[in-house]
Amino acid sequence: RLDAVESVPCCVPVDHARVMAAIEHGFAHHGPHRPSMLHDVLAGRPTEIDAIAGEIIRIGASCGKSTPILETMTRLVRMIAR
């Protein structure tokens, strides 16, 4: 749900068409890819989820913006990484 991107702290403008075009390009041109966090999970290493997503969640909270989708994703990554 890209409409959730509009809840980015401090009212950062988002061009949904441009975001979707970038996503489509990535799927079409980057082939099979495993994100670095998946490599970490598979190798039993700690992930960077708190350093990356946790900071966005904290910034959102400081601006009075909720980030429920990111909070859920963060919890899921933590759960998988256990």
pLDDT one-digit tens code per residue, 5-40 = 444 445 556 677 887 888 788 778 877 888 888 899
pLDDT tens profile 41-69: 999 999 999 999 999 999 999 988 899 98
pLDDT band at 2 (very low <50, low <70, confident <90, very high): very low
- DSSP symbol at 74: H
In angstroms, the Cα distances linking 82 to 12, 40, 41, 50, 60 are 34, 11, 9, 14, 26
pLDDT of residue 12: 59
Q: What is the pLDDT of residue 45?
A: 94
Letter for the amino acid at 8? V
pLDDT of 40: 92
